[in-house]
Amino acid sequence: MANLKEIRNRISSVKSTMQITSAMKMVSAAKLKKAQDAITAMRPYANKLTELLQSLSATLEGDSGSKFATQREVKNVLVVAITSNRGLCGAFNSNIIKESDRLVKEEYKNQNVSIVTIGKKGNDILSKTLDVIENNNEVYDDLTFDNVATIAEMLMDKYVSGEFDRIDLVYNKFKNAATQIVMTEQFLPIVPVTSDSNVNLDYIFEPSKIEIVEQLIPKSLKTQLYKAIRDSFASEHGARMTAMHKATDNATELRDQLTLSYNKARQAAITNEILEIVGGAEALNN
């Protein structure tokens, strides 16, 4: 059994760890509330805008279709992996890295695949084995629509120029503080709605359906990317809060076990000292 000094040092170390993880949990909980409110308020608008433009794109014929909806033979694929700049958030980052690696090696094994990373953790790992052509860590320094729009414009330019035939987003969708869902979402080309249940509504388009689609689709794509990053941002804080909560619980359990071991060792030491004193007194009496 370890001596008393070693156990005391371990208890002190565990208590320090508990203070750190507990503080990180509270910080993440505070940030999560703001991030959760932002993505919850944004989702209905982003989803409805995407649905509307998909429906409009489906009604455009031939050359009238948007340049962002052009279906080409898929030879070159770009995967946008959205992770975080910091760790200590459980499997949040590793899940995105695994899914990105799976896409490259299984889903698109017959295509040329490149990676654009958003977040330092994804870039650090994926750049070692895959073709990472660009990294955007700085977007988290000031997460605004305008900053994300710059990245979306870069992606749109790469698709329109023919550099890539398909662009996918890989990110964590926020469900609640304890659950994040790994999503693989097609960014480009736009997938027209093909449901038979579509209702044919008699809309009057001004100035014209084509002009409306051409102007709104870039905005819709920027909104789609912003929503994905916002989802990932909220998921990060939820995952970190959960991870730090578990770490605090584990540290508490370890502290209690060490305290019990310390008390047992201390009791054993006291008992031995008493036995030695009694034994010495007996020896003198004899």
Indicate if the pLDDT at residue 281 is higher than 50. yes
Indicate if the pLDDT at residue 17 is higher than 80. yes
Indicate if the pLDDT at residue 274 is higher than 80. yes
Question: What value does the mean pLDDT take over residues 49-76?
Answer: 73
Instruction: Return the CATH superfamily for domain 21-193+209-243.
Output: ATP synthase, F1 complex, gamma subunit (3.40.1380.10)
Q: Which class for 57: exposed (0-12), middle (13-18), buried (19 or more C-beta within 10 A)?
A: buried
Amino acid 59: pLDDT: 63
Which of the pair, 56 or 173, is modelled with greater confidence?
173
Residue 64 banded pLDDT, cuts 50, 70, 90: very low
Indicate if the pLDDT at residue 31 is higher than 80. yes
pTM of this structure: 0.85
Which of the pair, 99 or 62, is modelled with greater confidence?
99
Going by their DSSP bridges, the two strands 132-135 and 179-188 should be labelled as unpaired
Extents of the domains making up the chain? 21-193+209-243
Residue 58 banded pLDDT, cuts 50, 70, 90: low
Summarised one tens digit per residue, pLDDT across range 160-206 is 999 999 999 999 999 998 899 999 999 999 876 655 444 455 667 77
Kindly list the catalytic residues. Answer: 89
Q: Please provide the average confidence, as pLDDT, over all residues in the chain.
A: 88
Residue 71 banded pLDDT, cuts 50, 70, 90: confident
Indicate if the pLDDT at residue 140 is higher than 50. yes
Amino acid 259: pLDDT: 93
Question: What value does the mean pLDDT take over residues 214-235?
Answer: 92
Helices 209-285 & 92-102 angle (0-180, nearest 10): 130
122 and 81 in contact (C-beta within 8 Å)? yes
Summarised one tens digit per residue, pLDDT across range 81-127 is 999 999 999 999 999 999 999 999 999 999 999 999 999 999 999 99
Question: The tokens 């509330």 sit on which residue?
Answer: 33
Which of the pair, 70 or 121, is modelled with greater confidence?
121
Q: Which H or E run includes 182?
A: strand 179-188
Residue 219 carries which side chain, given as an amino acid letter? K
Indicate if the pLDDT at residue 62 is higher than 60. no
Amino acid 193: pLDDT: 62
Amino acid 143: pLDDT: 92
Question: What value does the mean pLDDT take over residues 73-80?
Answer: 95
| Least confident residue range of 98-107, 124-133, 269-278 | 269-278
Q: Which H or E run includes 92?
A: helix 92-102
